[in-house]
Amino acid sequence: MKPSLRLGRVAGIPLGVHWSGLLIVAVVVALLGASVLPSAVPGLPGESYWGVAAVTAPVFFASLLAHELAHALVARRRGIGVKSVTLWMLGGVTELEEEARTPGTELAISAAGPLTSLGIGAVLFGAVLVVDGPALPWAALAWLSLVNVMLGVFNLLPGAPLDGGRVLHALLWWRHRDRARADRGAARAGEGLGMVLVAAGIAQIFLISPFGGLWTVLIGWFLTGAARGEAVTRTARQGLRGLRMGDIMVPGPDLAPAWADLEGFTASVALRSRQSVFPVVDFSGAPTGSVSLDAIAALAPERRAGTRVDRLARPFPPERVLAPGDPAERILECAAPPGEPVALVAEAGRVVGMVTAADLARILGQALLRSRPGEEDAAGRSAGDGSGAGAPGEADEEGADGGTSGEGRAGGA
C-alpha cells in the first residue's frame, strides 16, 4: 500500500498515511464531538466537545502508529529489514523486506503490535483512575483507553491477516514443522472469522445500530477477501520459489524507440507484433516508459506523423525494472495499472524481457499448479526444524531461510 502523505521517519523507518487513514481521523472527531463526549459529560457548550475531540483524534492516530512501529522495531531487532509503515482506514500495514525465517521470529513480530495496544490501554486506564481533572478530558482519556484495549483484543483474533492470524500461523508452523500447512490453516481461520463478522454485522444492522453494523460487515468482508488473497499469494510464492525472472519473462519483446515517429512505428512494429504494449527505450536500450496499442489507437491518425513515441509513453517506475537473476517471487510485489507491463527485465541496462498482465496470470496459474496443497514447503520445514526443539517464542539463532525473497507484512485492521 502506497502512502498518500509521508510523515517522515522514526528510527530510520519511513512513515506514511494512506488517504483513507485521514478519513478515519475525521470520523473519530465526528464520533467523539457529536456522540461520545456529549453522552459522557452532558450540558457543556458544543465547542468544548469538538475541541477535545480534535485533540483526541490525533492521539488515537498516534496509538495506531505505535502499534505498527512495535511490529517494525521487533522485526528489525530480529534481523528483518522494514520497508515502510503506512496507516490506513482499517489500521496499518508494516511492510517487511522478507518473511520470518522461524516460527519464533514470526510470533514475536506479530504479537508486538497487539501487546503494545493493550499496554497503551492499560497505561491510559491507570491514568483515568489516578488523574483527578476536568470531566471532559477524563472522558476522552477513558475512551482512548477502551479503544486501545479493543484494538489489541481484536487484532489477536485468530485469523489471517490479523496479527492473531499470524500468531496462529507461527504456532501451527512450530507445531507441525510445515509452513505450507500453517499457511492453509491461518487462511481458513481468517475466512471463517470474516464470515462470522459479516453475519454479526448484518444482525447488528437490524437489531442494534445500522452504522455500527455496516462497519462490522465492512471489516468482515475485508478479512474474508484478504485471507483468501493471502492464501493465494503464499501458495504462488511457494510455486515460484527457486525460479528467476529470466525463467518466467517473455524474452526479446518488440521495443518502441523513444525517438521514433509514431506513424512509422505503428506501420513497422505495432501492426505486426503480437504484443499489446511495448517497452519504450532510449538510445542505449534502457527502459524509459511504455506505450500501448490503445494509447496509439486513441490518437488521431493524422497526428501520429511527426509525433515521437516518447510523447505518448507512460513513465515506467524503476522498482518494476528487474534483473534476469532476481527471484521470480519479486513479480508478486509488482502492481501495474491497465495498459502497462507488470515488469520489465533488463540486463546491463538494456531491456531483454517483459512480463505483462496476461503473462502474470499464466505464471501464477502455473505456480499454483507447482505448489500442490498437500506438499510440504521444504524451506518452511527447514526453518521449523531449526526452532522446533523449543517453544515458539524462543530466539531464532538457527533455522534455514523460510522465504527470504518474499515480502512479509504485519498489520491489523
Would you please indicate which residues are annotated as catalytic (active-site) residues? 68
Sheet holding 343-347, edge to edge: 250-251, 350-355, 343-347, 321-322
User: Any idea which residue has 512480463 for its cell?
Assistant: 355
303 CB-near residues (< 8 Å, 6+ apart): none
What is the rounded distance in angstroms from the CA atom of residue 59 to the CA atom of residue 74? Answer: 23
What is the rounded distance in angstroms from the CA atom of residue 35 to the CA atom of residue 63? Answer: 21
Alpha-helix runs per DSSP H in 78-209: 103-130, 135-155, 163-176, 179-207
Q: Which three cell numbers stand for residue 80?
A: 528483518
What is the rounded distance in angstroms from the CA atom of residue 311 to the CA atom of residue 263? Answer: 13
Reported as half-sphere exposure (CB side, CA atoms, 13 A), residue 390 has a value of 12
Angle at CA of residue 46, ends 45 and 47, nearest 5°:
95
Residue 80: helix, strand or coil by DSSP?
A: coil
Angle at CA of residue 168, ends 166 and 173, nearest 5°:
95
For 104-137, letters b (16+ CB in 10 Å) and e give: bbbbbbbbbbbbbbbebbeebbeebeeeeeeebe
What is the rounded distance in angstroms from the CA atom of residue 280 to the CA atom of residue 313? Answer: 7
